[in-house]
Amino acid sequence: MTKHLINKVAIVTGAGSGIGRACALQLAEAGAAVVASDIDDAGGEATARQIRDHGGRALYVHADTAKVGDHEALVAATLKAFDGLHVAVNNAGISGPAAPVGEYPVEGWDHVIAINLSGVFYGMRAQLPAMARAGGSIVNMASILGQVGFRQAAAYVAAKHGILGLTQTAALEYGPQKIRINAVGPGFINTPLLDHGLTAEQRTALAGQHAMGRLGEASEVAELVTWLASDRASFVTGGYYAVDGGYLA
């Protein structure tokens, strides 16, 4: 991989596994110093250690994406360790309960919105001032379900739709400061999040809903994220980019 992110510093939330880990690893391979955050300390430490073991620069910081103060502390730790912030991947998320809207548990709604939507807002609120001096790129992890509905996933769908509006608004506001902000919409990806509660038959059925007839891989999402993070995407902002094997088609 071309080292097109040398001298860049990146934060990745939810970096302890899945898409977040894949993004952290590819950003590091492209030359960025990476601050991995998660509430899974073992997973987050393993991601950072894997980067360091391959000659990269990485730090793990425990951070709960649903807490404003944790985002502020995460950015502060990043600036202290690497003296800058140029890339942020707001990836942390959960699936939440499965229930129709009229029966959806209020506590489950609040929890999903707090992590999947408010967590992205809190992240950008802390990241944007730190990027103001040099510009940068923020990539918010939405979903194909930021474009369409999905039965029994009201909170997740609402949060991912909200990320798109938040991304577009911030892109308009911060474009003059040379900060680009985009959203990525993965299809159903082979990650621990997808494994939760799915039978083999359900996985097969989900795969069949994609034009390519398979589930995606976290590394395929990370390729798009890494491109958006780099100067190769210098005229790309306010966009939503699906990496979904044709699901939305």
Give CA–CA dist 207/37, Å, rounded. Answer: 30
pLDDT value of residue 156: 97
Residue 97 confidence (pLDDT): 95
Task: State the residue range of the domain holding 34.
Answer: 9-243
2 in a structural domain: no
The DSSP symbol for 101 reads G
pLDDT digits (tens, 9 = 90+) for 100-127: 999 999 999 999 999 999 999 999 999 9
CA dist 131 → 87, 88, 165, 184, 190 (Å): 8, 10, 21, 20, 32
Q: What is the per-residue pLDDT for 221? A: 98
Overall number of domains in the chain? 1
CA 249, 95, 74, 37 torsion-angle sign? negative
Type and span of the H or E element at 224? helix 218-229
Task: Please count the other Cβ atoms lying within 10 Å of the Cβ belonging to residue 104.
Answer: 18
The CATH number of whichever domain residue 215 belongs to comes to 3.40.50.720
Q: Which of 144, 137, 189, 176 is nearest to 163 (CA)?
A: 144
Residue type at 98 in one-letter notation: A
Residue 249, burial from CB neighbour count under 10 angstroms (0-12, 13-18, 19+): exposed
For residue 144, what pLDDT band results from cuts at 50, 70 and 90? very high
Q: What angle do CA 223, 228, 230 make, to 5 degrees?
A: 95
For residue 1, what pLDDT is reported? 61
The pLDDT tens digits for 23-78 are: 999 999 999 999 999 999 999 999 999 999 999 999 999 999 999 999 999 999 99
Q: What is the pLDDT of residue 193?
A: 67
How high is the pLDDT of residue 54?
96
**What mean pLDDT comes out for the span 14-19?**
97
Residue 4 lies in a domain: no
Q: Are the CB atoms for 143 and 91 separated by under 8 Å?
A: no
pLDDT digits (tens, 9 = 90+) for 167-217: 999 999 999 999 999 999 999 998 876 766 678 888 889 899 999 999 999
Active site residues per annotation: 156
Asked if the structure places residue 94 within a domain, the reply is yes
Give the pLDDT of residue 31. 97
Is position 65 within any domain?
yes
Answer with the residue of higher pLDDT: 201 or 19. 19
Alpha helices in the chain (DSSP H): 18-29, 41-53, 68-82, 106-113, 119-131, 154-174, 192-195, 200-207, 218-229
Identify whether 197 is part of a domain.
Answer: yes
Identify whether 3 is part of a domain.
no
Q: Is the confidence at residue 153, as pLDDT, over 80?
A: yes
- Whether residue 111 lies inside any domain: the answer is yes
Is 126 contained in some domain? yes
